[in-house]
Chains A and B, each alone.
With several copies, the nearest count.
Chain A
Amino acid sequence: MALTKNEIAKRIAQELVNNTYVNLGIGIPTLVANHVPSDINVEFQSENGILGMGPFPIEGKEDADLINAGKQTITSLPGAVLFDSAVSFSMIRGNHIHLSVLGAMQVAENGDIANWKIPGKMVKGMGGAMDLVTSSNNIIVAMTHTNRQGQSKLLKRCTLPITGVSCVKKIVTDLAVIEVTSKGFKLTEVAPGVSEDEIINSTDADLTIDKNLKTMVL
């Protein structure tokens, strides 16, 4: 059965490496913070100017002066630090952030990502996404495998305006974990109860099936 958003986030949390700095995008990626393994130390950055972001505040403690990049009210953890937007993107462009998790509308088999614009329909802007995707050494995409119209979001080539070139390393969808290799998409894990064929049928690009193909453990 297809994963819930929370389950996608839980699977991505398994990718977290001890003693690293991580930027979580808006949407599913934000949920990753709720599933950090207890033996893993990570610090979450929000690009509007905080490192050491904590959970949402309890009711009555919301502070308009303390938000994340999704404009949600947040808290800070001990050891947190505040900074301006130029310093924030210095951390990002300078490769000090080890992992970025982003949502996407489309990912191409060469690692291109599209997540900022639908011409004529939706033009909200790229925010920090273009900086993030060109900068971190590890870009993981969290998204549903298909869009609301049932169309595959994994493609040979992005049809929407792209956010970055050949940058996505791994995709975790509600159906599968897929690595982006020099030879295109490689299916490495399937969601529990989801068949290979269902994934193949939902993917508008070629897929290499990993010889050690596994079922996700959540």
Chain B
Amino acid sequence: MINKTVANVDEAISGVDSNMVLMFGGFGLSGIAENCINALSKKNIKNLTCISNNAGVDDFGLGLLLKKRQIKKMISSYVGENDEFERQMLSGELEVELIPQGTLAERCRAGGAGIPAFFTPAGYGTEVQGKKEVRVFNKKKYIMEHALNADFAFVKAWKGDTLGNLIYKGTARNFNPLMAMAGKITVAEVEHLVPAGELDLNQIHTPGIFVQRIFKGSFYEKRIENRTITKA
């Protein structure tokens, strides 16, 4: 049986180099590949293009790579709540491409699905439109968007098996299944790694074919960005 297991995070990120395009799953701090991000922030690589819905916070998530100036360009939909990010962007040190969240999701899926381009209404008539092709279908205006792919995609799942099959938990699923499809090499870190055959084949969110490397993360801080409670 095919076995995608790697021994540890270092093996998981081996081959990642400067100037590469990297994708990171997660929404805010939820469902991010904490182990991979930490290890990448310690690696001597720079000029990265990072595709991620958000950019972490100052001392967690992609904020760690920002602080070390490893990122040349961010492609995201929302980058608030990160002072260092704002500073680098306003000073021009960091290149930022902001795109609508649904467009980001669909572009990653398209990249994984062999669809080079598609039309979406999101962004029509706004700065996002830029020089993109505009087209009318059924009297509504759409812009053409291209697929996104990455040299490496880093995703985080709740459970995974040695074949790379993944199950996410809660809303930590978000962009992970889409970026898993779009990475030339997709690295999955999981909380629970089980032998192939232990997961119910009818309940797998990401088929293992999309995953090249898998390992059990050694820690999960799972920081909560905005703790809100109902008073009992």
Seen from chain A, the residues whose Cβ lies within 8 Å of a Cβ on chain B are: 19, 21, 41-43, 45-52, 55-59, 62-74, 76, 78-97, 117, 120, 123-131, 134-135, 161-165
Task: Indicate whether A67 sits within 8 Å of B27 (C-beta atoms), given known contacts A79-B165, A93-B120, A124-B80.
Answer: yes
Asked if B173 CB lies within 8 Å of chain A CBs, one says: yes
Asked if B49 CB lies within 8 Å of chain A CBs, one says: no
Pairs of residues from A and B, 9 with the lowest C-beta to C-beta distance, nearest first: A93-B114, A78-B197, A89-B102, A79-B196, A131-B102, A124-B80, A90-B113, A65-B170, A165-B125
A83 in contact with B229 (CB, 8 Å): no
Taking the closest CB of chain A, its distance from the CB of B192, in whole angstroms, is 13
CB within 8 A of B114: which of A51, A66, A72, A90? A90
Taking the closest CB of chain A, its distance from the CB of B2, in whole angstroms, is 5
CB within 8 A of B174: which of A49, A92, A129, A164? A49
User: Tally of A-B residue pairs with Cβ under 8 A?
Assistant: 239
A127 in contact with B209 (CB, 8 Å): no
A123 in contact with B197 (CB, 8 Å): no
Inter-chain CA distance A92–B207, complex, in Å, is 13
Query: Which chain B positions have C-beta within 8 A of A59?
Result: 229, 231-232
A56 in contact with B226 (CB, 8 Å): no
> 27 interchain pairs (CB within 8 A)?
A21-B209, A41-B2, A48-B28, A49-B171, A58-B229, A67-B30, A67-B224, A71-B30, A72-B226, A78-B197, A79-B161, A79-B165, A81-B165, A85-B27, A86-B113, A86-B177, A86-B178, A89-B102, A90-B113, A92-B102, A97-B209, A124-B79, A125-B79, A126-B98, A128-B102, A131-B122, A162-B125
